[in-house]
Amino acid sequence: MAKQSQTFPAGIVIFGAKGDLTRRKLIPALYNLYQGKFLPETFRIYCVDYISVEEAGYKADLRSGVDEFSRNGKTTENEWLAFADHIEYQSGDFLKAETFVTLKSALGKFDISNKKRGRRIFYYAVSPRFIETISEALYRQNICNQDNLDRIVIEKPFGTDLTTARLLNRFLQKRFAEKQIYRIDHYLGKETVQNIMAFRFANYVFEPLWNNRFVDHVEISVTEKVSVGARGGYYDSSGALRDMVQNHILQLLCVTAMECPKEYEAEAIRTAKNAVIKNIRPVSGAQVFKQVVRGQYKGYKKEDHVASSSTTETYVAAKLFIDNKRWKGVPFFLRTGKSLTRQSTTIIIQFKHAPLKIFKDDIEPNRLIISIQPELEISLLFESKVPGLQMKLKPVEMDFTYKESYTEAIPEAYEALILDVLKGDPTLFMRADQVESAWQVVMPILEAWQKQPAKELHQYIAGTEGPTAAVDLLKPFAKTWTGLPEQQKT
């Protein structure tokens, strides 16, 4: 990241400024960027929400959010005060034009005082139902009207299915240029996810093996220990497939499986990723129940704001194939779920067996483990001779850990992403076609489930590894998911 890369003044508007995302992620990220001198010298943060608040109390609350959630620990008095001086709160109803008139005037004054039209970032930290309303108001008030300077940032979920996502894309594209629209998938901002491209394309040794000649199968797991908690209202109408697979997991699949782009440039990269999704073999009809396992943790129906007859899945495991030259025949096993044993995101590249069996011992084929979180590591498992007078083999691991290799701090995903928005670099954001392709993959699965809502909805006990059926899905490629001891099967 280039320091002070922003010479242009920036007006950063956060809609939904009283919400959880602002307090937990956005303000801590902006504060860290400020501390690291990555924000422009001249910037203002306009926090907009419908609630009237007293500004000092509001800022104190933001500060406690930074103290609690920033990777840099607690704020220091002077630095916080200097940062907070850039923040102003504006109470305003998103449904009323006057909110945007006031905002326009504030942004206009900011430009006048800088003698320069600054860049403007409009961050929608709001419920999806406000996306159209806010966009229409920005458009009508002519606030977000300069293609090269003004950007909107939209959080997931982007639509609730293919039709709504398409409509939303068309709606936004009528009001803004595509290059102004930043659709966030925060997984793409994670340091370890960004490193996958470096690992694959800046090294010569791995890429020749990265195909169906050498790879037996791939596992992508995003397991969570947390339950749906207070998010039952949203989650019950979403489910794990929409919440995690349509976006984060398919994006992990893309970075794992994509071809090398011609250059490290936003459009080349996004096109290469989209090609992966477009080549995923569709799973539909009866095949859905063979290739996709869904589960619900026991007790889910008693969570707040969850329907007592809910058939929403809190767990999904799927077997997908990518029908291209590189990956033909290699299954990609994906899984995610809530209320599991632990929080862990990993990508496993499981290589094939050595072609000749010349040793007596059973040999474990090579395995590359890319740990995205909570550990940040890449390990390669290989066989080695156990020291001694016999030819006895045992798998060992060669590890790269960020902790041991670097002294640099690891930025939060939101820091990287907000900085990219300020710079105008959309590489790590979802283009309209990517979002739609991803919906195309999950739609037939959703449709099959909608037709038979209770069919094979496996119940699992919270705090376990999820349904046994997800282990069976791996057969005959593997006995169990990597890292999951066989005896722990549920």
Query: Active-site residue numbers?
Result: 248
Q: Can you tell me which residue has the tokens 């037939």?
A: 444
Tell the smallest beta-carbon distance from residue 117 to ligand BG6 (Å).
34
Of 70 and 99, which CB lies nearer to ligand BG6 in the complex structure?
70
* CA-closest candidate to residue 294, choices 136, 413, 469: 469
Of 156 and 367, which CB lies nearer to ligand BG6 in the complex structure?
156
> What is the rounded CA–CA span in Å between residue 154 and residue 351?
38
H or E element that contains 218: strand 215-223
- Beta partners for 399? 379
Tell the smallest beta-carbon distance from residue 221 to ligand BG6 (Å).
12
> What is the rounded CA–CA span in Å between residue 352 and residue 205?
16
CA atoms within 13 A on the CB side of 330: 27
Helix, strand, coil distribution of the chain in percent, nearest 5: 40, 20, 40
Tell the smallest beta-carbon distance from residue 138 to ligand BG6 (Å).
24
Amino acid at site 38: F
Tell the smallest beta-carbon distance from residue 248 to ligand BG6 (Å).
6
H-state helical runs in 119-230: 131-140, 162-175, 191-201
Answer for the pair 479, 486: CB distance below 8 angstroms, yes or no.
yes
Give me the residues that bind ligand BG6 (CB under 6 A), please.
156, 224, 243
Q: How many CB atoms are closer than 10 A to CB 441?
A: 22
Tell the smallest beta-carbon distance from residue 241 to ligand BG6 (Å).
12
Of 156 and 270, which CB lies nearer to ligand BG6 in the complex structure?
156
Of 146 and 341, which CB lies nearer to ligand BG6 in the complex structure?
341
Question: What are the structure tokens assigned to 371, written together?
Answer: 């740990």
Answer for the pair 122, 153: CB distance below 8 angstroms, yes or no.
yes
Strand ranges of the sheet holding 367-373, from the earlier edge strand across to the other edge: 393-401, 377-385, 367-373, 344-351, 215-223, 331-337, 315-321, 292-297, 457-460
Tell the smallest beta-carbon distance from residue 104 to ligand BG6 (Å).
32
